Amino acid sequence: MSPDSNNILVVDDNPDNLRLLSAMLSEQGYKVRKALNGKTALNTICQVPPDLILLDITMPSMNGYEVCQKLKEDVQTKDIPIIFISALDDVLDKVKAFEVGGVDYITKPFQAEEVMARIENQLIIQRQKKQLQQEIEEREKTERTLRVYLHAVSHDLRNPVIGFSLILKNFLKQKKESLEISRKVIEQMSISCDRQLNLINSLVESQQVEMEAINLDTKSLNLAQFSQQLATEWQPMLNEKNAILSLDIAENLPLVQADSDRLWRVMENLMANALKHNEFGVQLTLKADIIGAEEQNLEPQKIRCSLMDDGVGIDPKLAETLFERYHRGDRAKQTLGLGLGLYICRKIIEAHSGEIGVIAAPGRGAEFWFTLPISYG
């Protein structure tokens, strides 16, 4: 960072000192501003914070210590380095200067070389602090991204693996030494494996893991057929919870423009939550309807999908933040593992230019809904 990119504020009630310091710093390429008293200095700093302040201690009305204390109490100015310049040479004066937040102390009369060396030293420290802070923020961003990645691996891959495992265990329960597996079951297992592979492939893409800019591969999709396939693959998990899934989606419903793999992740997250946080025997209904069909409505028509259950329900106050990152709440006093699952659902639906939400009431079930654009291709 070159000197002319740094601006320095000199505060001194002695005009001669101001002129001397200003000329000295300007010759070295610094941008210099001046203030004759503490009040003017505070107003100037508020308008345009400097990179460093040279501050005299003995000033009328408001001394340097008071100016420094006010700056350190303000979150906007507390990190500006302050070098005190004073004729006071007592140790106690220097100690107080550091106690109120000063970073250095120069005794008058001063030498130009000493002033320049101390200024440059503090500016170097300030640049290093900013660089360190930037590195810390980048590391925290990387850690957040890694948490999203690990959650997606543990949460989204878990659902198809559980279904696959249940199918195999059901076969192993048979007493026969030689097992017969129908072609339909093998096809279902193959589809499950393909879905896991597609998910793994998407997870290794850093842009996708970041969940800030999701790239979609959208195609025209028949929701009735999609939902039927979902119900078939989830039947083992439904059986484990003695749950029933009803489909209320017309075959002639308009096609939607969607990424089937991403949409599958949304549905799996919603299904998994409904089964995990409700009692055995919960009734689920997957429904889809057209919205925005009025003739004078200029908005494009969309399909509204919803997954309803007759379970324990959700507190409406908690429902407002369910789709935020790392949110965790209580669903009728049952711990919810909603740290990232619903957040990921929201990001995927928003990438489809849709909306997602929940209609909740304690003890009366829950309805998670989202919208998708109709395909006109």
For strand 219-221 and strand 256-258, is the pairing parallel, antiparallel, or unpaired?
antiparallel
> For domain 3-133, which architecture applies?
3-Layer(aba) Sandwich (3.40)
pLDDT digits (tens, 9 = 90+) for 236-267: 889 989 999 999 999 999 999 999 988 998 99
pLDDT digits (tens, 9 = 90+) for 119-137: 999 999 989 998 999 999 8
Q: CA-to-CA distance for 121 and 116, rounded, in angstroms?
A: 8
Residue range(s) of every CATH 3.40.50.2300 domain in the chain: 3-133
- Token pair of 228 as six digits: 């039927």
Exposed, middle or buried, 228 (CB in 10 Å: 0-12/13-18/19+)? Answer: middle
Q: How confident is the model at residue 206 (pLDDT cuts 50, 70, 90)?
A: very low
Distance of CA 333 to the CA centre of its chain: 26
Which residues, including other chains, have CB under 8 Å from residue 295's CB and lie 6 or more apart? none
**CA angle, corner 229, sides to 227 and 232, nearest 5?**
110
Task: Identify the CA nearest to 259 among candidates 195, 215, 225, 206.
Answer: 215
Q: List pLDDT tens digits, range 302-324.
A: 999 999 999 988 888 777 788 87
Q: How many CA atoms lie within 13 A of 325 on its CB side?
A: 10
Average pLDDT over residues 154-171: 70
Q: What are phi and psi of 91, to 5 degrees?
A: -60, -40
Residue 340 has pLDDT above 80, yes or no: no
Contact 108, 87 (CB under 8 A): yes
Q: Which CATH architecture has domain 216-373?
A: 2-Layer Sandwich (3.30)
362 Cβ neighbours under 8 A, 6+ residues apart: 312, 313, 314, 315, 332
Q: Which of 352, 355, 346 is nearest to 325 (CA)?
A: 346
* pLDDT above 50: residue 333: no
Q: What percent of the chain has pLDDT over 90?
A: 47
| Residue limits of CATH 3.30.565.10 in the chain | 216-373
